[in-house]
Amino acid sequence: MEILIKNGYVYDPMNNIKGDVMDIAIKDGKIVEPSEIDLQRAKVIDAKGKVVMPGGIDIHAHVAGPKVNSGRIMMLNDHYRSFMKLVPGRRRSGTGKYTPSTYITGYRYARMGWTTVIEPASPPLKTRHTHEELNDIPIVDKACLILMDSNRIILNYLDNKDYEGCKEFILWLLEAVKGYGVKLVDPGTAVLWSWGRGYGLDVDDPVEPYSLTPRDIVEGLCRVNLELGLPHPLHVHCNKLGIPGNCETTLKTMDAVSRLSSDKVILHITHVQFNAYLGGNWYDLGTGSEKIAKYVNTHKHVSLDMGQIDFGTATTMTADAPFEYALFHMARWKWLGTDVEAEAAAGIVPYKYRRRNFVNALQWCIGLEIALLVEDPWRVMITTDHPNGAPFTRYPKIMTLLMSKRFREEVMKKLNRRALRKAILPSIDREYDLYEIAVMTRAAPAKLLGLERTKGHLGIGADADVAIYDINPKELDPSRDYEKYLKAFKRAEYTIKSGEIVVMKGEVVNEVYGKTFYVKAKTKLEEEIYGEVEKFFREWYTVELQNYIIAEHELRNPQPIYVGGA
């Protein structure tokens, strides 16, 4: 298919295009020179007075895998409330708003103009499940990050300071389970949780029976991640998530690896809002946004994503099992916990964020504060830690909130007063512009994922993933007309995925299936290490090593990214 998008206002930060009126040409799934298009055959889209951007990229959303599916099963109420109907030959049906079923997950991303999503927490032993779900998410490209912070084989290597062995093993593991990157969740806690301990574990606490601390794990794996040259930096959910006073923990975590790089990003701190709290208890909770932002503004080795909350019912799900146990005691409704042998643990607890609640209102402010106080939009990305803070379908709202102080003030009118007195948000004037929004939601995540050659931009040779929004930036001021921006962002005028039109006027018109990226080693694992791993397997696991490995043909559209080698 050939497509010519004519006369749109193009926002393409990687190519330094800031709303220029341009034509974008598409052929065989790629962006090409307009001269290469046969105008007789091409579909011409008149984008005059509209915004054209690369497809959105979600760096962190729990959309697939064992934990998400348990959430679906547990949150029956969510599925009674929200559904999409079958349109024969065009789209499948599904249910759920916070824990949507797979097909409608893809459709809802596409309707917003998003074309890539990263599932950020897959336990290796159950990653076959994650891939089965990713296979069933239509339209978007995807990848999954692999939980490694409490993997006993890895901890053994770190404990023995055998970084070379650790590197080899991690590369093998990523390829074996077809994962894309290394994820740490509350480093070390899942080890202690096997004995029902671990709540509140801090950076320098011991992770028994290893002679390691979370700091050692972060530092060691950051080094391994860097030396392996993995496409994505170490992705960390810090210790003490959701506990007042955890801002210090986050700062220590960021600083633990500062000496490893002074220029490029080597550590990604995810859903930072949940890890930016001052105070000693919930009553005197305070915002740590300034401290976090100050650190990021003065250090180039870290990036953040927001983990913004929005009001309403949410489903919290993390591999931070003790935290979920603690949350269960606050929410007192349902609690689902799972441990995965030798690897990880997870919990799911439904939760409701309330405007009038002091803590929730302050959480809402903190997320936005961080995004507004960090100067460089290339290092702060929009997420809700879906479905922990809010569903991913709230991204349009968050984009608009960042673009309009007036919108923020409108929401703040209904918030808990005490929270607003403690927050900094009321005093922040900054408003993001469309270019910066395109950075945060397109260019920056593409770069952070190491996919910037083909993703997150509209230059020649890029994947033809494009979003067109029906909004005229020359006529409408986002600060004032935020409602119009919100409406336009919610339903893209067009979404094009790999050169196919998949959304028109906000509705899914065509179902295609994207790729699954994963890391593949250029070289084979050494016999000796394989033998060690096999021995460890017999000791710790209840499956055979051979059956743990996921074959490439189990993925619908596997897309290896080669790493390592001489």
Nearer to another protein, 73 or 460 (CB): 73
Helix (H) or strand (E) holding 3: strand 2-12
Which of Zn ion, another protein, none lies near 3, with the C-beta cut-off 5 to 8 A by kind?
none
157 binds another protein per the rule CB under 8 A:
no
User: Angle at CA 450, nearest 5°, toward 449 and 454?
Assistant: 105
* CA dist., res. 208 & res. 189, Å (int): 10
Question: Got the DSSP string for 17-28?
Answer: EEEEEEEEEEET
Q: Which of 10, 51, 57, 64 binds another protein (CB under 8 A)?
A: 64
Which of 43, 459, 543, 562: binder of another protein (CB under 8 A)? 543
Pairwise CA distance, residues 480 & 470, whole Å:
17
Taking CB under 8 A as the binding criterion, the range among 310-318, 358-366, 468-476, 543-551 that sits at the site for another protein is 543-551
**CA–CA dist 403, 11 (Å, integer):** 15
Number of shown-chain residues binding Zn ion (CB under 5 A): 1
**Residues ≥6 apart with Cβ < 8 Å to 216:** 158
In the list 93, 160, 297, 523, the residue contacting another protein (rule: CB under 8 A) is 93
Half-sphere exposure of residue 294: CA atoms within 13 angstroms, side-chain side: 8
Tell me the closest approach of the beta carbon of residue 528 to another protein, in angstroms: 21
Q: Give strand pairing partners of 118.
A: 143
Please identify, using beta-carbon distances, which residue of 59 and 68 lies nearer to another protein. Answer: 68
Q: Which is nearer to another protein, 352 or 421 (CB)?
A: 352
Sole window of 112-120, 238-246, 399-407, 539-547 interacting with another protein (rule: CB under 8 A): 539-547
Q: Kindly state the smallest distance separating residue 429's Cβ from Zn ion, in Å.
A: 30
Considering only residues 19, 54, 96, 506, which one is a binding residue for another protein as defined by CB under 8 A? 96
Q: Collapsing DSSP states into helix, strand and coil, what is residue 306?
A: coil
Please tell me the number of Cα atoms within 13 Å of 37 on its side-chain side.
25
Stretch that binds another protein, among 32-40, 61-69, 214-222, 461-469 (CB under 8 A): 61-69
Q: Is 159 in the site for another protein (CB under 8 A)?
A: no
Q: Which residues contact 16 (CB under 8 A, 6 or more apart)?
A: none
Count of residues that interact with another protein, criterion CB under 8 A: 64
- Cα separations (Å) of 330 from 307, 333, 349, 351? 20, 9, 10, 9
Q: Which does 194 bind (CB under 5 to 8 A by kind): Zn ion, another protein, none?
A: another protein
The 8 Å CB, 24+ separation contacts for 546-549 are: 548/124, 548/125, 548/176, 548/177, 549/176, 549/177
* Contacting range for Zn ion; rule: CB under 5 A; set: 108-116, 139-147, 381-389, 391-399: 381-389
Q: State the alpha helices, DSSP H only, in 41-197.
A: 66-74, 76-81, 102-111, 127-135, 152-159, 163-177, 189-193
Choice between 219 and 385, CB closer to Zn ion: 385
Residue (54 or 391) nearer to another protein, CB: 391
Q: Please state, in angstroms and as integers, the Cα–Cα distance from residue 12 to each residue in 16, 444, 509, following that order.
A: 6, 11, 25
Q: Please list every residue from 508 through 527 that binds another protein, using CB under 8 A.
A: 511
Q: Which of 24, 52, 118, 125 binds another protein (CB under 8 A)?
A: 125
Choose among Zn ion, another protein, none what residue 334 binds, the Cβ cut-off being 5 to 8 Å by kind.
Answer: another protein
Strands 2-12 and 380-381: unpaired
Q: Report the distance separating Cα 72 and Cα 65, nearest Å.
A: 11
Q: Is 199 in the site for another protein (CB under 8 A)?
A: no
Give the contact letters, 329-368, x = binds to another protein (CB under 8 A), - = no. Answer: -----xxxxxxxxx--x--xx-------------------
Give the whole-angstrom CA distance, residue 382 versus residue 470.
21
The interface region with another protein, picked from 377-385, 401-409, 457-465, 536-544 by CB under 8 A, is: 536-544
Told to check if 133 binds another protein by CB under 8 A, we report: yes
By CB under 5 A, tell whether 385 contacts Zn ion.
Answer: yes
Identify residues 468-527 at the interface with Zn ion (CB under 5 A). none
Cβ 313 to another protein, closest distance in Å?
15
CA distance 46 to 291: 46
To the nearest whole angstrom, how small is the minimum distance from the Cβ of residue 328 to another protein? 8
Residue nearest to Zn ion (CB): 385
Q: Figure out which of the listed residues 19, 55, 56, 66 binds another protein, where binding follows CB under 8 A.
A: 66
- The listed partner (Zn ion, another protein, none) that binds 385, CB under 5 to 8 Å by sort, is Zn ion
Nearest to 468 by CA among 54, 1, 31: 54
Tokens at residue 496, please? 């094009």
Among Zn ion, another protein, none, what does residue 35 contact (CB within 5–8 Å per kind)? Answer: none
**Dist CA 186 CA 451 (whole Å):** 27
Q: Torsions phi, psi of 58, nearest 5?
A: -100, 115
Beta carbons of 517 and 451 less than 8 angstroms apart: yes
Judged by the rule CB under 8 A, the positions of this chain that interact with another protein are 64, 66, 68-70, 72-74, 76, 78-79, 83-86, 88-90, 92-96, 99-103, 125-126, 128-129, 132-133, 136, 194-196, 325, 328, 334-342, 345, 348-349, 511, 539-544, 546-547, 550-551, 554
Judged by the rule CB under 5 A, the positions of this chain that interact with Zn ion are 385
